[in-house]
Amino acid sequence: MNRGQGIFTFLLFLLALALAYSPLQAGDPEGDGSKTAAEAVAAPEAEPVFAAMPKPGKKVPIGNGGYLIYGFDKKPRLGPVILKVEVHTPDGNRDTSVEVLVDSGMPSMRGAHETGDRPCKLSRKGDYLLPVDIVMPGDWEIRLTVKKDGQVVFRGSHGFDV
């Protein structure tokens, strides 16, 4: 490559770099400050808020007088443990008309061990069950989301140490 081609290539590189970082607002000649398509796509959604839940085995109010009781089949340790969630109506009967989703992971290592929302399976007794894999020692968290008719009615979290 001769000197002229090298300079031309370098100038093209600088032009491409400048265009990549310049604000282009197609269809917005007045610059009214509205978000560009790229900004709208890149804008993060608000993180849902999960209320701290009491220890396993205690009643957790979920709104409209209903409540849930959650627990594990054994003390959480390395390996799989079964999370059990009972959802009750205000009069104390089992409510099997809801959807219970569980996300588990390590808060100190967000993104490394999260399972994402996984639906619990409904047992014949009316318990919502889900295996939770504890893959390493440390602080863990389960995050419950209860939905009724597709609408979120409760979000709660419980942290525990393994």
The confidence score (pLDDT) of residue 34 equals 52
Please report the beta strands in 18-57, taking only residues with DSSP state E, as ranges in sequence order. Answer: 51-52
CA 145 centroid distance within chain: 10
CA distance readout (Å), 79 to 75, 83, 99, 135, 157: 11, 13, 25, 6, 20
Q: Is the pTM of this model over 0.85?
A: no
Tell me the C-alpha distance between 16 and 46, whole Å.
Answer: 34
Inter-residue long-range contacts of 59-65, CB under 8 Å, 24+ positions, other chains counted:
60/154, 60/156, 62/87, 62/146, 62/153, 62/154, 63/153, 63/154, 64/90, 64/153, 65/89, 65/90
Nearest to 80 by CA among 135, 160, 27: 135
The alpha helices in 47-142, defined as continuous H runs, are none
The confidence score (pLDDT) of residue 114 equals 76
The confidence score (pLDDT) of residue 110 equals 76
The confidence score (pLDDT) of residue 29 equals 47
Q: Are 129 and 84 in contact (CB under 8 A)?
A: yes
State the architecture of 51-161 in CATH terms. Answer: Sandwich (2.60)
The confidence score (pLDDT) of residue 115 equals 84
The confidence score (pLDDT) of residue 37 equals 52
Tell me the C-alpha distance between 134 and 80, whole Å.
Answer: 6
The confidence score (pLDDT) of residue 24 equals 47
**Could you list the pLDDT tens digit for every one of the 162 residues in the chain?**
666 676 767 655 655 655 555 554 444 445 455 555 555 555 567 889 999 999 999 999 998 899 999 999 999 999 999 999 999 999 999 999 999 999 999 988 777 767 889 999 999 999 999 999 999 999 999 999 999 999 999 999 999 999
Tell me the C-alpha distance between 106 and 95, whole Å.
Answer: 30
